[in-house]
Structure 1
């Protein structure tokens, strides 16, 4: 079986795909990852074969427009963001369709905002499989109507007409989000064929330093991390340094996980704060008791996979959505930017460390996640799906 993974150049959308790609390769299937050049180094660092897919657009500049308060009008993952995602698909379309028609994949696995994925699937006769990076933010009626409208001209350009051609929901959705955090079924516009999959954290490649001291210690350890996106969009939203300064008054150990290029954004830190630069988060959190972060899906899910309660200070529209779904699990708390003053941060951290219910909820989600099908099992299910529908290949 041949499987083509598709993402635009946004690493945190690509990372959740990696364990499934590994599992498919380990099972003997052929795998390629098609993306613009900006993602190439991340793909090869994950040990996966890279296929060039179009050219890069300055998505960072465009996404800055979606930061609340910066520009008037609607923001977020609705119609305005769909326009950006359609432009990203346009930038990838020619190369990706040519590659897919030549290579002839059986499956195209794409993250929900990589519209070039379903385009390549339709053009080559493959089956499209969605792989959301967390709670299914994109499965909304208004979003799907906007997607169909925005993508119709692109699909028509390749001779793909009709409503089924621009179907971004595909044949299957691989669902790696723990059920406790997933969008309730009644909140979605319609049912999807979903394959549940265990969330296996992959937070990028990196060098692992001398291990942190073992878990048996005198005081709890808090990990402060602010992802890789916020600092690129607006350095003033990189609150990790402020959070560390506030927590220095508490009797806790402090670990700061940060991308090396964003280390200067932390400013001066207390001497006792241990900074880990570009260390994969899943290698850090098993040595911690609590996470304080920005609300990115990868950070939240990695924390839940480790069974840790979390304090979330969302900065972007999708972070707010993630925070809402996360706090509904009972595994943590969320503060607005205005509430995240030093005393507010300290009070929330004390509550999360002192009240056992938060950790119990997080550990329950960790255990539920561990019982879900592994990427290896999902790879088997995808192969079974292709075999069962082999006669129906349209092209």
Structure 2
């Protein structure tokens, strides 16, 4: 069987596809990945044939880096509707249709905001599965994207879809337990939840806690690192911080002993050795931390991040700070509280245990095979 995995956007949309794609390869299926040309290097480095759906990335310098802007939920929803469900869906509907006619996949597996691939699959009569990449829910709602998708569907000759069934057509695969989902925005009842990897049992408590700091790996804002590293500077903790490919670690200035700053470290290599995560509340960072039973301090900056942060707070696994106003003192207080109050770790451990009980990615493959 030939399976075409597709995503639109950054690495947070690609990485959830990787465990299933590798499981498909291990089962003897032929796999390719289609995504933005900015991510071709990461696709091939992960071991997959890459089909770029846009041009290569353009280099940027620190002087060209845009300053961090205050969270604007309405602007984020407009970007989802006009960018992902409008321009992006139009681009991917054309690109994936062309790729599929040439490469001839049997099944398409898309990230949930890659609407254009769902349209292309429907147009070509191909079965399509969806991988959930917005963990808490709430950001992607049918009423937000309906008008834009109606236009794109009409342009390619597909009939109206007033119930927006295209969003949940085919298997829905979620790399997290459904208990994490905000109950106001439930997933379909037949959603298949799985865990992305085997996680080793937690080791004995460390004498000195380690804090992992990440605000994403692409177009990372530099501003939050100042108060976060400043707040951690006087705590008796070690720190591992990843700053992304647009920031040089030296830009953050000198740091004390016990602080390591890198552009990128795979989080699966870091998290088993940590006690606390400080992040932007991206779905991958939050679920990655909870997979290891780690509580968080969260500074959500946009898109689905505020929804994830609220859900984490509701579940008792995180404290949430404002990324625009948080001071070093506030970061220090929040980190100290989450590390000292056992209730945060106990709540995170409950979710870790739920995740550990989920099936592995190889159990998603029969669902894909059944589509053909």
TM-score band by shorter chain is 0.7 to 0.9
Question: What is the deviation of 1:297?
Answer: 1.3
Change (3 A) 1:152 1:317: closer
Partner residue, 1:94: 94
Q: Secondary structure at the match of 1:270?
A: coil
Flag the 1:170–1:136 CA change in 2: closer, same or farther, 3 A. farther
Determine helix, strand or coil for the equivalent of 2:300.
Answer: coil
State whether residues 36 and 54 of structure 1, in contact with CA within 8 Å, keep that contact through their aligned partners in structure 2: yes
Residue 167 of structure 1: SS of its match in structure 2? Answer: helix
**Alignment deviations for residues 222-274 of structure 1 (CA, whole Å, 9 cap, x no partner):** 2222222452xx543xx123211221111222222333542244333234312
The one-character-per-residue Cα deviations of 1:372-392 (angstroms, maximum 9, x if unpaired) are 1110011123223x1xxx5xx
- What do you get for the CA RMSD once the two structures are aligned? 3.0
Task: Identify which of 350, 356, 359 aligns with 1:370.
Answer: 356
Task: Name the SS for the 1:314 alignment partner.
Answer: coil
Alignment partners' CA distance in 2, 1:324 and 1:199? 23
In the other structure, the counterpart of 2:13 is 13
- Alignment map for 1:82-161 (pairs within 5 Å): 82-85=81-84, 86-135=86-135, 137=137, 143-161=141-159
Match among 276, 298, 310 for residue 312 of structure 1: 298
Matched residues in 2 for 1:88 and 1:265: separation?
34
**Corresponding residue for 1:200?**
197
The match for 1:206 is none
Query: What's the CA shift for 1:338?
Result: 5.9
C-alpha distance in structure 1 between counterparts of 2:118 and 2:81, whole Å: 15
Cα distance change on mapping 1:271 and 1:155 into 2, 3 Å: same
Unaligned runs of 5+ residues in structure 1 are: 203-213, 391-395
**1:175 is the counterpart of 2:164:** no
Q: CA deviation at 1:175?
A: 1.2
Whether 1:224 and 2:213 are equivalent positions in the alignment is yes
Contact 1:33/1:48 (<8 A) preserved? yes
- 2: CA distance, partners of 1:267 / 1:360: 36
Aligned with 1:249 (options 234, 239, 245): 234
Name 2:63's counterpart in structure 1. Answer: none
SS in 1 for 2:172: strand
Task: Out of 266-275 and 163-172, give the one that drifted further.
Answer: 163-172
Please report how far the alpha carbon of residue 136 of structure 1 lies from its aligned counterpart in structure 2 after TM superposition: 5.0
Contact 1:9–1:37, Cα closer than 8 Å, also in 2: no
Contact 2:214/2:278 (8 A) holds in 1: yes
Question: Structure 2, unaligned stretches of length 5 or more?
Answer: 61-65
Label 1:230 to 1:295 Cα distance change in 2 as closer, same or farther (>3 A). Answer: farther
Q: Could you tell me how far 1:280 is from its partner in structure 2?
A: 0.6
Partner Cα distance (1:338, 1:69) in 2: 8
User: How many residues are aligned here?
Assistant: 360
Tell me the CA shift for residue 19 of structure 1.
Answer: 0.4
CA displacement 1:6-29 (0-9 Å, x = unmatched): 112411111111000000111111
Q: Does the CA contact (< 8 Å) of 2:242 and 2:262 recur in 1?
A: yes
Using the TM superposition, give the Cα deviation of residue 65 of structure 1 relative to its aligned residue in structure 2, in angstroms: 12
3-state secondary structure, aligned to 2:166: coil
Are residues 98 and 230 of structure 1, via their aligned partners in 2, closer, same or farther at CA, if it must alter by over 3 Å?
Answer: closer
- Asked if the contact 2:231–2:332 (Cα under 8 Å) also holds between the matched residues in 1, the reply is yes
Question: Per-residue CA shift, 1:282-330, capped at 9, x if unaligned?
Answer: 1011111111122111111111111111111112242211101112221
Q: Does the C-alpha gap of structure 1 residues 169 and 314 become closer, same or farther in structure 2, counting only changes over 3 Å?
A: same
Moved more, 169-178 or 17-26: 169-178
Taking structure 1 as reference, are residues 221 and 69 closer, same or farther at Cα in structure 2, changes over 3 Å only? closer
SS in 1 for 2:241: strand
Q: Secondary structure at the match of 1:328?
A: helix
